[in-house]
Amino acid sequence: MSDRQMPADPLVNLENGKRETAPGCQGAAGQTIDHSPLHSEEKAAPREIRGFMGLITRCRFLLGGSAVVLPFGKLFGSFNTKWLFNGSVLLFNVGSAICGAAPNMNALIVGRVLAGIGGNGMYLGVQNLLSISTTPKERPGYLSFVGVVWGLGTVLGPVIGGAFTESKATWRWAFYINLCISALFAPFYIWYLPSFDPRASETMTTRLREFDVAGSIISIGAITSLIMAMNFGGTVYAWNSGQIIALFVVAVVLFILLAIQQGVPVLTDTNNRVFPAHFLRNYNAVILYCVTSAVNAASFIPIYYIPIYFQFTRGDDAILAAVRLLPLIVCLTAMILASGHLISRYNYFQPWYIGGSVLALVGGVLFSRVDENSSTGMIYGLMIPVGLGTGAFTQTGYAVIQAMTPPSDLAYAISFIMLAQLGGIAFGLTISGSVFINTAIAGLSRILPDATHDELQRAISGTSGSYFKQLDDELRAQATSVIVGSIGKVYILVYVGAAFCLVLSACFTQRKMYKGAVNIVA
C-alpha cells in the first residue's frame, strides 16, 4: 500500500469540528441510554412484557441497527448529512415515544426496532459530521469523544432507568426522557450543525434513481435473518428447531445473493452499490474489519456478564450491578480518549492495537479464573486490564479506516467499521449467551433434577429471580457455583478474541495514519 498524503483541511471548516462535538456526542449517548435502561425496567414492566425484556433489548439494538447500516451508510454518501442526522433523531424519538406508551408487547417491539434504526442512524451521523469537520490529524481525537460519551451512557442508562422504575414515574419515563434530551439539543441540531451535501451538484432524482435499492433490501433481509437466528436460537427456540434452521438457511441464501448482486454488479454499478466491495481488495482494511469485530465482542462480553455475576453472587439489584461496572467503564473511556488524542499527535496506530490486545488477553484469562468467593476488590482490579486493553482500539477504527481509503469513500468507510462493530457485538453476545445458558442449565439440571428446562432458563436469565431464593442454603450455594462457573467459561471468548486481535494487529502493513507510514513487505 502506498503512502497517502495527509489532506490539509477538513471538508467543512467549522472551528475544527468543535461545533459538532457537544450535540454530536449527545446522539451517541442518547442511543446508549436508550438501550441500557431495560435491564432495570424488566421487573416493573407489565406481565406480558416481563419475560422478554432482555431479549428485546439485545435483539432491538442489533436488529434495528445492524440491518440498516449499509443502506444508511450509502445515504450519508449521497444526501445531506445534517438532515439525515436530524431525520434519524426524529425516528429515534418516535420509537422512544412508542415504547413509552406501549400497551402491549407488539407495540414495544415496534418501538424498539424504530429506536434502534434511528439511534444507529444518529451514530453514523455523528461519525460523518465529525469526520467532515476535522482534519485527518485532528480526527482520531475528536472521534474518541463519541466513545467517552458512550461509556458514560452505559453506566448512567441503567441507573436512570432504574430510578424511574422505582419512582412513581414508572419505567415508561426511561423512554420519554429521550424526548426531553432531544428537545434540549434540538436548536443545535437544526441551526448549528453544518450542512454538507456530498453530491450537491446532482439532482435529487438522479441520486434516488442511482440508489442501490436491490442491495439494500437483500442486505436488510440477510442481516435480519442472521441476527434473529442467533438471538432466538437456544432462548426462544432450540438450535435444531425448524424455525432456527429456516432462518439460517434464508440468511445464507440471501448473503450469497448479496455477494453476487454486489460483485457482478446487478441492478446497480460499482460506484453506487450499497456495500464497498472494493474494500475487500484492501489488505489493511480487511484486517481492520476483523480486529474491530473481535475487540468489540471482547469489550461487550464483560459489560454484559459482570452485572450478572454480581446479581447472583452479591444479590445486587440491576442499578447497583450497573454501578459495579464503573471501574471498567472509566478505564475503557479513559483509554479511548487517550488513544484518540495520542494517535492524533504521534500518527502511529498499530502499537495501540498490539498493546491493547496484550492487556485484554491478560484480563480475559484472569477473569476466567474468577469464582463465587472472589473478592469485590479483585473483580474491580481485573476490570482495569480489560478496560484499558479494549479501550485502546475499540473506537480507533473509524479514524484508521479513513487513513486507509480515499476521502471519496468517507461514508463507505464509516459504515464499514460500524458493521464490523455491530457484527462483533452480535456474534460475541450470541456465542457467549449460548455458552452461558447451555453450560449453566446442564450443571443446574444435575443438582436440581426436578426443575424443568424452562424454569432453569428463566432463573438464569433473571426473569424468575425468586426461584433461587426458595432453595435451601446448600442448594443455593451449589447453584451459584454452577452459574459462576458458566460465566467463567464465557470469558474464554474474551481472551480468544484478544489473542485473535494480537495476531492480526501484527500483520498490518501500515503502521501510521498518513504519509510516512512504514510499509512492510509481507
29 Cβ contact list (under 8 Å, min separation 6)? 149, 150, 152, 153
Same domain, 280 and 372: yes
Give domain status of residue 65, yes or no. Answer: yes
Same domain, 343 and 490: yes
What pLDDT is recorded for position 410? 92
What pLDDT is recorded for position 21? 54
Burial class (CB in 10 A: 0-12, 13-18, 19+), 434: middle
The three cell numbers of residue 38 are 431495560
Same domain, 38 and 174: yes
Give domain status of residue 457, yes or no. Answer: yes
Q: Which of 180, 32, 219, 190 is nearest to 116 (CA)?
A: 32
Give domain status of residue 232, yes or no. Answer: no
**Could you give the C-alpha distances from 330 to 31, 157, 178, 192, 333, in angstroms and in order?**
19, 15, 24, 30, 5
Any idea what the CATH number is for the domain that residue 423 is in? 1.20.1250.20
Q: Which of 416, 396, 384 is nearest to 508 (CA)?
A: 396
Q: Which of 357, 11, 31 is nearest to 197 (CA)?
A: 11
Element (H, E) at 70: helix 69-76
What pLDDT is recorded for position 389? 97
What pLDDT is recorded for position 102? 87
**Could you give the C-alpha distances from 518 to 1, 350, 502, in angstroms and in order?**
10, 11, 19
d(CA 505, CA 198): 33
**Could you list the residue range(s) of the whole structural domain that residue 77 is in?**
14-192+205-212
DSSP state, residue 191: I
What pLDDT is recorded for position 40? 42
d(CA 29, CA 152): 7
Same domain, 164 and 312: no
The three cell numbers of residue 316 are 445486587
Residue 348, classed as helix, strand or coil, is: strand
The model carries a pTM of 0.89
Give domain status of residue 261, yes or no. Answer: no
Give domain status of residue 394, yes or no. Answer: yes
Element (H, E) at 82: helix 81-100
Same domain, 58 and 185: yes
Burial class (CB in 10 A: 0-12, 13-18, 19+), 460: buried
* SS3 labels along 286-339: HHHHHHHHHHHHHHHHHHHHHHHHHHHHCCCCHHHHHHCCHHHHHHHHHHHHHH
What pLDDT is recorded for position 2? 45
What pLDDT is recorded for position 216? 96
Q: Which of 242, 220, 180, 206 is nearest to 30 (CA)?
A: 180
502 Cβ contact list (under 8 Å, min separation 6)? 354, 357, 358, 361
Same domain, 171 and 319: no
What pLDDT is recorded for position 106? 79
Same domain, 186 and 280: no
Walking along the chain (522 residues) 10 residues at a time, the average pLDDT comes out as: 54 53 55 50 44 50 76 93 93 92 83 86 89 86 83 71 75 87 87 86 92 95 89 78 95 97 93 94 97 95 91 81 87 94 93 98 96 93 97 95 93 94 87 88 88 77 62 84 93 97 96 62 36
Give domain status of residue 69, yes or no. Answer: yes
User: Is 435:490 a contact under the CB 8 Å cutoff?
Assistant: yes
What pLDDT is recorded for position 41? 44
Give domain status of residue 315, yes or no. Answer: yes
Give domain status of residue 376, yes or no. Answer: yes
Q: Which of 470, 516, 178, 170 is nearest to 349 (CA)?
A: 516
The number of beta carbons lying within 10 Å of the beta carbon of residue 428 is: 24
What pLDDT is recorded for position 132? 87
Same domain, 286 and 185: no
d(CA 21, CA 149): 10
What pLDDT is recorded for position 350? 96
What pLDDT is recorded for position 14? 54
What pLDDT is recorded for position 518? 43
What pLDDT is recorded for position 9? 56
Same domain, 175 and 288: no
What pLDDT is recorded for position 323? 83
The count of structural domains within the chain is 2
Please report the DSSP string for 131-187 in residue order: HHTS-TTTHHHHHHHHHHHHHHHHHHHHHHHHHHHHSTT-TTHHHHHHHHHHHHHHH
Same domain, 188 and 303: no
Q: Which of 438, 431, 430, 476 is nearest to 457 (CA)?
A: 438
